[in-house]
Structure 1
Amino acid sequence: MRDAFVTHLKHGKSAEEAIQAILVGYGRSLENHEVECLVLFSLADTAWKHGRLTADVRDRALALIAQGGDMAVWERDAPGDAPLRRQALDRLRARLLSPQPAPKRIMLSSPKPKRIICTDPVGTVFLLDLPTQGKAAMVVVAYVDLGSSVEPIFSVLDWRGPDVPARAELGRCSAKSLVFSSGLGNRRHVGILCFDKRKNPIKPLERTGLVLPDLPYDNEGKVFVTLSRIAQEADAQLGAPAL
């Protein structure tokens, strides 16, 4: 959170613009109470320490603390650490109610060029090798700007085959896509999580030359997972290869 907030300031955004950009990035995930607490508490703390806390973020964070914050989650999942979490929330509340320091000086800098993963049009079909046998079809349904990079988002169709399918065959499968689990529930779209930024995450995929039109996309319905996990989950959902 600190890095994202400071980066927005370095790129010339005001505190209000930086906060808005961060909150918009989380989208409907903020409807989840646990996520809302994590984001608002961290954002309020970071903005206060940089002397740029807005009244709106302060009031939202204080209201969440007054409601108990995320203590129920800690008491359920980590009861031994719950007292420490309570102390941390008490300290945060006291800090937010106190005068914030003078705004820290921020050195402006130009944004670095974004890393473009691929430029294939939305609807482009790629094939992914599956662990047991055959291939799955991954279709680009959107691109998302993650700040430092622009990443393709895919739907994995309900199809398994040995080679590039006919366009009509995939078209019949395009109404149904596979579901992938995440901490916030099931998601029908996946981005490829790649820890080595020197590598292009789509390099292992096979281009088919096929483009499908008008596939549905929900910006809140995505999760980033490794390509190996996508292959494993797709393999399990698609069942045994046809003989």
Structure 2
Amino acid sequence: MGTWGTGLYSNDLALDLKGTYMRLLKEGKTKEEVERLTIEQYEDTMECEDEDDETIDAWLVLADLEWKYGRLSERVKARALGYLETGKALEAWEECSKSDYKNREQVLEQLREKLLSPMPAEKKIRVPKPYECEWKLGDVFAYQFTSDYSKEKGVENHYMVFRVIQLVRSKSDNSIQPVVQVYKWMGKELPGLDVIYKECLLPSTGIKHPEGYLKLKSIAYEWNIDISSKRQIKKGSLFYLGNSPAISVIPQQKRYTNEGGMFLYKWIEEYFIDRYLVWKDVENIPSHIDEQEHMRPNTYQWRLGDVFAYKFNTEYSKEKGLLNKYILFRVIELLWDKEKDCINPVIEVYQWLGDEVPSSEIIKQTPLLPMMPLEDPSKYVENQRLNYNMILDTMDEADIEKGNLIYLGREEVIISCSKQIHKTIEDHLYEWKSIENVIVDRYLEWKDVDFITY
């Protein structure tokens, strides 16, 4: 624990605990919930059998915070006073200088007197409105570099381009944050929307030797951006280019999503520039087709975020006891298939099965259904290698039997979970006529596995 003074908050642990406590307060939780969750987060320190100086400091800081905000519980008060009145809170300072010992002694005595004095009334905490990203799925932006860092790297006033592919609601603060894909392109002039059809994606993986990642094919392309407020987005640096509901990719392009790729919007220039300089001369990064005029809407007009209920009606579902049951899926991407000159939707299926048509809202409380055969569940959990996506092969209106597919609405925002990792790979390309058998099998294999995340 880093310590730089004799004050109650002059160490890393105290500041970290204060940050946690204040965050929980601002989330609107009750005083009991805030206390419980704070202690749980620092359980290894606060509940350890061998009470060291960190254990004592943590309880003293929590007591001070609770008293200050009018929320001091008898449990925390008793624990803190126990350390203060027995002298244990001062033992760790006995080997320090006389002046430090005296100063710390004074700090602790002031805290003891405070905890024994009448506590102020419970203070109201202003709960900030969580940020909700106003960008839409498929929106494409050009970002112009203006920072000192861009000047240092020789790319000041240059542009880079990104596209919004997901909108994620955070479980921690209820904010809605964007997930984007960035393109391996940089230029001095503001580009047009067609640039995304000509350039390949820029990996978000930060590495020194990209060739090794290419061999393993474990390349991350998603960028999870954390924006705290609309004011963070500097005027004059972000330019809207248009909306592209479909993106063109070759089958070999692999996409991975994980929470580890999250970064603060204020660091966007450093991240974009650093990744671009690492990858700009690397060949064989999967690229897009280069002819925008081939893009045309799919005949059934699915859009990003569309949610459907599908009714099982085959002999196979009857054999498995699921005839006339409904399952849910959501369109998360539209991929251009260059060879077949068509758009293939990518869907996520939910681990829900019912006798009645549900509302689209149910997907917000329902785990995703993995789209891989269940062999040994433990290896998927340990390695976080759960594939949740299905790419549907060439589809026409005639492929979809009317009455079996019911449109429920559009849900642009999904719920985040730090443990969920999903990837799209070319091996999981399914013809529409075969998806019922696949989904039935996956559902029956995974329905009783309790570690699936959403």
For Structure 1 versus Structure 2, the TM-score category normalised by the shorter chain is 0.3 to 0.5
- The structure with the greater share of residues assigned to helix is 1
Higher normalized contact order (CA 8 Å, seq sep 6+, divided by chain length): 1
Q: Which has the larger radius of gyration?
A: 2
TM-score (norm 2): 0.28
